Structure 1
Amino acid sequence: MKTLLNILAIITLFTNAAVAQVNWTVDPAHTNARFEAKHLGIAFVDGQFKKLDGKVVTSSDNDFNNAKVNFNIDVNSIDTRVEMRDNHLKSDDFFSAEKFPTMKLANATLSGKNGKFTLTGDLTIRDVTKKVAFNVVQNNGIITDPWGKTRAGFTATTTINRFDYGINYADKLPSGVFAVAPEINITINVEITKD
């Protein structure tokens, strides 16, 4: 009987360890979501979204492999340093921000090791959701900051085609070059803190 109880105790211990979760929160003061698109075929115009939030859930406090990630971006916080351009990007030609005020990355999983990962999840822009994969690099491991918080930092990059998400603005030059290229480069620099 004692052996059976010991076995049950060990199973319980391993089961609890297997379902343990560590929660992390995106630090919006030290996170930015940036984008750039080729303009008139000759240069890049960039911008950022200034308001965002997100959560990361890991199975341990020192390993991000198989982490679950969810991320929300406030479309109305777009900033390209030119108000007229920002307003155009918020219009129906692009993000239709009044109707679709939030972009989301949901059901995303981080997979990899040694600080190099792939983040794969469902990206929703406007009313279109598609699978997307980011290349992710963890920046210098996990630290304890001067105020006692546990932090980790990552840089994630990908390229999407905006036409895939219903952003169909398609003005062209007489040469046939798009005024705003379909390919959008995305970079997200993120710091997360352990809850």
Structure 2
Amino acid sequence: MKTIVNILAAFILLTNVAVAQVKWSVDPAHTNARFEVKHLGIAFVDGQFKKLDGNLESSTATDFNNAKINFNIDINSIDTRVEMRDNHLKSDDFFSAAKFPTMKLENAVLKGKKGKYKLTGDLTIRDVTKKVTFKVTQNNGIITDPWGKTRAGFTATTSINRFDYGINYADKLPSGVFAVAPEIQITVNVEVVKN
């Protein structure tokens, strides 16, 4: 009987180890979410969101395939270096930040190997949620920082059509070119720290 109990205990221990998740937190001091959009058809305007948070769960401390990711961005932290433009972007013409203060990426899963991944998840802007896929590169593996913490870094890129998310500002030049193009290029540089 003792042998059966020992075997059962070992099986339970191995099962718990197999499903254990390694938790990582986004380091907001070393993470940025940037965007770029064509203006008047001739130039690009870029900006960033200065406040964000998120977490990542991986199956091991060295393998990010199938890692789960959630990410939140504070819309009111938008910064394009021009206060009047930032206020316009927070208005109902664009993000409607008073009603929808947070942009979210939820239920996102990282798939790939050798530092090259695709991240697919539910992106919510305003009150619209759509599936989005990012191309992701892991930057230089996993390191131990000078303070003994384990860190990893990633760069994720995608493009979205803002009209798909209810950002319907549509002023045009007499030529028919949008003042602010529909397509938005997004780059997120993320540094995560193992908890």
Task: Give the structure-1-normalised TM-score.
Answer: 0.97
1:161 paired to 2:161 = yes
Aligned mates of 1:114, 1:4 — CA distance in 2: 41
The match for 1:13 is 13
Aligned to 2:4: 4
SS at match of 1:84: helix
Provide the rounded CA distance (Å) in 1 between the counterparts of 2:149 and 2:90. 36
Deviation at 1:9, TM superposition (A): 3.5
One-letter amino acid of the counterpart of residue 64, structure 1:
F
Tell me if 1:137 matches 2:137.
yes
Give the 3-state SS of the residue equivalent to 1:94 in structure 2: coil
Whole-Å Cα distance in 2 between the matches of residues 66 and 24 of structure 1?
14
Q: Does the alignment pair 1:72 with 2:72?
A: yes
Aligned residue number for residue 86 of structure 1: 86
TM-score when scaled to structure 2? Answer: 0.97
| Aligned counterparts of 2:146 and 2:90: Cα–Cα separation in 1 | 39
Aligned-residue offset at 1:10: 3.6
Alpha-carbon offset, residue 13 of structure 1: 2.8
- Deviation of 1:144 after TM superposition, in Å, equals 0.4
Q: Which runs of 5+ in 1 are unaligned?
A: none
Greater Cα shift, 135-144 or 5-14: 5-14
Q: Partner residue of 1:118?
A: 118
Question: Partner of 1:29: helix, strand, or coil?
Answer: helix
Question: How far apart, CA to CA, are the structure 2 residues paired with 1:79 and 1:18?
Answer: 43
What is the Cα deviation at residue 160 of structure 1? 0.3
Q: Which range moves more in the overlay, 4-13 or 149-158? A: 4-13
Unaligned stretches of 5+ residues in structure 2: none
Q: For structure 1, which segment, 179-188 or 8-17, has the greater mean C-alpha deviation from structure 2 after superposition?
A: 8-17
Tell me what 1:59 maps to. Answer: 59
Q: Match of 2:123, as an amino acid?
A: L
The AA in structure 2 aligned to 1:160 is I
State the one-letter code of the partner of 1:123.
Answer: L
- The residue that corresponds to 1:22 in the other structure is 22
Paired position in structure 2 for 1:48 = 48
Deviation at 1:174, TM superposition (A): 0.6
SS of residue paired to 1:81: coil
State the one-letter code of the partner of 1:102. Answer: T
Give % identity: 82
- Alpha-carbon distance in 2 for matches of 1:141, 1:13: 30
